[in-house]
Structure 1
Amino acid sequence: MTESGNPSQPADVNEYTASHIQVLEGLEAVRRRPGMYVGSTGERGLHQMVYEVVSHAVDEHLAGHADAMDVTITAEGGIRVTDNGRGLPVEVDEPTGKPAVEVELTELSFGSKPHTGYRVSGGLSGLGLCVVNALSSRLTVEFHRDGHRWTQEYQKGTPVTPLTRNEETNEQGTTIAFLPDADIFETTRYSFATLSERLQELAFLNRGLAISLTDQRPERPVRYHHTDGLRAFVARLNPYPPSLVHSPAIGFESENENKTVSVQVAMQWNTWSSGELHSFANSTRTSEGGAHEEGFSTALTGLVNDYARRQGQLTADDEDITAEAVHEGLTAVVSVKLAHPVFEGATRTRLSNPEANVYVHAVVHEHLTDWLDHNPNEAASIIRHILNTSTGHGRR
């Protein structure tokens, strides 16, 4: 009994009502659950912050508006990314009454990127810049657009200055600088080697895009620019010329009529490795594979068997060559770009789009069959290599 004479009422642990539901508004949700958006609060999530800002510059390149990007690890440990694209949009967003750039940096708008009209977009489906802003203790944006230089500053996702129009300029491009929030991340020290590896990868995947990385802790600049795209990527992965079954690497690309799916492939067999397949979707590594890998592997195994039988390297009595044997010693990179990619899991490591499977299968079957027919000597070497390895794998 209480002093008032009313019996105390114990809480009902089985009770569950609307009052128990906590709704996190806007960027508060990102700051409370950062792992849901960048994968972790460790080194992986820390570097994902950079990749999200970099994705904006890559999207400008894919849209035909940028051909250069500079990434800097600043002396204080932050990141600065500059591109020579169109600059972020400044028009007022009707529903919110805010400048479009502020909406892109503060509003969780799931789906395609707002305002910019990208046909193909990497990053977190339009959330990238917003998430980076939310998880940064400080972020500044500077861009050149509509004949002026524009600036705005944020702290922990909240604007602390209005979007400001500065002096006139004939330049174009965007610079985003941010300092990761030490209250959120377990470490805020960036790895030059980790960033260098990913940026070189992006230069391979996006032919013609020049990417530089500078570390001001002390200064250590590198620059990547690969006009040969994925074939240059494969050449880097196959560094021992005497072990190559054929040279140069095979490379081809194609885009469907609706421009909703495109694929680039480069591949080369060697005698020293067990084989490695690297796949990407919208420049994001798909470490768990998915539809595009399945389309590639199925088409490759089928056409290798068809070609070997047509050339008499397999007889009617021979069993089919297995997929394992076909992939033995094969270094391949498969990159698809889709208007509407569907990934499994928050970490975006497996592609689910069935149209990617179908289109990659068709492109690989057509282009690789054509290459084999037009390069009979190299094709014969490849089949001999596969047949030699097939004895260790058996036939299916």
Structure 2
Amino acid sequence: MNAEGMEYDASHIEVLEGWEAVRKRPGMYVGSTGQRGLYQLVLDVVDRAVTEVLAGRAGSVDVTLTADGGVRVADDGPGGGGPNGPDLEAQLTSFQFGSGPIGRRTAVLAPLGMGPFVANALSSRLTAEVRGEGTRWVKEYARGVEVEQPDTEGPLTGDGGSATGRGTTISFWPDTEIFETTWCAFPVLAERFRQLAFLNRGLVISLTDERPANGVRRVLFQFPDGVRDFVAALDAEAGACSHADVFGFEREDKRMAGTMEVALLWGYSRGAQLRGFANSLATHGGGTHLDGFRKGVVDAVTTFARERELPGASDLDACADGIVEGLTAVVSVKLDQPEYLGATCTLLGNTEVRLCVAEAVREHLGTWFEERPERAADIVAGIVRDISQD
């Protein structure tokens, strides 16, 4: 091969920054130009609003799928920067801010989590409005570039279709030049927001669809009992309807720099329903939090069975997997520094979490058994019976 004509120097390097880089290779930032990437775009904007609620700066989030193909995300927080919204503007125009640092008081809505800047770059149009302290701040962008608008700052007037009172609203229209489809399925987003409300009991989140010809539909999610409500719902959806008490607890552990919230229910159905979450992101691949949970459950059950000399207690040690059969459980950890393994963040790797969760589950579940010896004996009997049938 002749090297002539193959010379390569700095003049051949194309440097793209900011919105240009995002629009050139959108898949790097939202994972796909198909529907999966579209949902990532929506969640990047919702993430900012949910973070406002979890930080105590807002109380609710409202998401609307508009009739003209747009998405409107509103919260009742101050916008992070007061009436002039400088922090919000930076999030919309710079990679530097993204959606903020991950911590136990933030929710990771989707694996990539690049923040509203990417949504701005990949939308044909985006408008941001901040209302607070009697003033209104508005910015509009077209494919990431600010559109000059007169009189976008000033006092609230109550007219022109804008709501008065405190709040932040971001409306955007995903770019048809980028995405293969801009249609968001209502059930997909509704299920994700429902899950978020289960995992963050202080969150009130609604989804409204203005697109149906037969009328607007709306759902609102708020679950005061958190993951206990989650477990009860999973049990009902599985058709078990055991009507038994859901066991649950919350605990902070400095060793793992975070908190855990655990709930479980023995329904005697075949096949365990174990759901794991780390900072509200589903860990479909499992991880140390679920490993610790399983160990804690096995230890609590075998200890109780041996101490009470229950029938079949000696068989439990060799059948650890059978002990969690029939369990419906949710294990949610919120960490200051979660370590997700893999590109899709479906596996939690923080090693210290395993021990912390195992200890907590063993102690709390062991106490629960001691307080309800008859119920605990029934659980052990059911486990032994299922093991003997295998």
Question: TM-score under structure 2 normalisation?
Answer: 0.86
Structure 2 residue aligned with 1:167: 155
2:288, 2:348 within 8 Å by CA — same for their partners in 1? Answer: yes
Structure 1 residue aligned with 2:268: 271
* Poorly superposed stretches of 4+, deviation over 6 Å: none
Instruction: For 2:242 and 2:108, locate their aligned partners in 1 and report how far apart those are by CA, in whole Å.
Output: 35
Alignment of 1:31 onto 2:10: no
Aligned residue identity for 1:332: A
Aligned residue identity for 2:4: P
Kindly tell me: are residues 318 and 182 of structure 1, through their superposed partners in 2, closer, same or farther at Cα, counting changes over 3 Å? same
1:301, 1:322 within 8 Å by CA — same for their partners in 2? Answer: no
Select the residue among 52, 70, 75 that pairs with 2:62.
Answer: 70
Kindly tell me: are residues 91 and 136 of structure 1, through their superposed partners in 2, closer, same or farther at Cα, counting changes over 3 Å? same
Aligned residue identity for 2:369: L
Alignment of 1:42 onto 2:71: no
Kindly tell me: are residues 325 and 99 of structure 1, through their superposed partners in 2, closer, same or farther at Cα, counting changes over 3 Å? same
Aligned residue pairs, count: 378
2:252, 2:258 within 8 Å by CA — same for their partners in 1? Answer: yes
Instruction: For 1:295 and 1:118, locate their aligned partners in 2 and report how far apart those are by CA, in whole Å.
Output: 19
Alignment of 1:151 onto 2:138: yes
C-alpha displacement at 1:315, in angstroms? 6.5
1:55, 1:122 within 8 Å by CA — same for their partners in 2? Answer: yes
Kindly tell me: are residues 99 and 46 of structure 1, through their superposed partners in 2, closer, same or farther at Cα, counting changes over 3 Å? same
Instruction: For 1:366 and 1:56, locate their aligned partners in 2 and report how far apart those are by CA, in whole Å.
Output: 36
Structure 1 residue aligned with 2:120: 133
Kindly tell me: are residues 258 and 9 of structure 1, through their superposed partners in 2, closer, same or farther at Cα, counting changes over 3 Å? closer
1:151, 1:164 within 8 Å by CA — same for their partners in 2? Answer: yes
1:303, 1:369 within 8 Å by CA — same for their partners in 2? Answer: yes
Structure 2 residue aligned with 1:5: none
Structure 2 residue aligned with 1:4: none
Select the residue among 85, 108, 111 that pairs with 1:122.
Answer: 108
Select the residue among 234, 237, 244 that pairs with 2:234.
Answer: 237
Instruction: For 1:130 and 1:111, locate their aligned partners in 2 and report how far apart those are by CA, in whole Å.
Output: 7
Matches within 5 A, 1:267-306: 267-306=264-303
Unaligned runs of 5+ in 1: 1-7, 93-97
1:306-362, Cα deviation, whole Å (9 max, x unpaired): 222122126785451533212211111111111222222333222222233333223
C-alpha displacement at 1:187, in angstroms? 0.9
Structure 1 residue aligned with 2:357: 360
C-alpha displacement at 1:171, in angstroms? 2.6
Alignment of 1:211 onto 2:208: no
C-alpha displacement at 1:73, in angstroms? 0.5
Secondary structure at 2:334 match in 1: strand
C-alpha displacement at 1:141, in angstroms? 0.9
Unaligned runs of 5+ in 2: 158-163
Percentage of matched positions with identical amino acids: 47
2:256, 2:352 within 8 Å by CA — same for their partners in 1? Answer: no
Instruction: For 1:121 and 1:109, locate their aligned partners in 2 and report how far apart those are by CA, in whole Å.
Output: 19
Secondary structure at 2:236 match in 1: coil
Structure 2 residue aligned with 1:54: 46
1:45-76, Cα deviation, whole Å (9 max, x unpaired): 21122222222222122212222111110001
Comparing 206-215 with 27-36, greater Cα deviation is found at 27-36
CA RMSD of aligned residues (A): 3.1
Alignment of 1:182 onto 2:176: yes
Comparing 138-147 with 196-205, greater Cα deviation is found at 138-147
Comparing 136-145 with 351-360, greater Cα deviation is found at 351-360
C-alpha displacement at 1:140, in angstroms? 1.0
Structure 2 residue aligned with 1:82: 74
C-alpha displacement at 1:25, in angstroms? 1.2
Alignment of 1:191 onto 2:185: yes
Instruction: For 1:379 and 1:250, locate their aligned partners in 2 and report how far apart those are by CA, in whole Å.
Output: 12
Instruction: For 1:296 and 1:249, locate their aligned partners in 2 and report how far apart those are by CA, in whole Å.
Output: 16
Select the residue among 113, 125, 137 that pairs with 2:100.
Answer: 113
Alignment of 1:338 onto 2:307: no
Aligned residue identity for 1:228: D
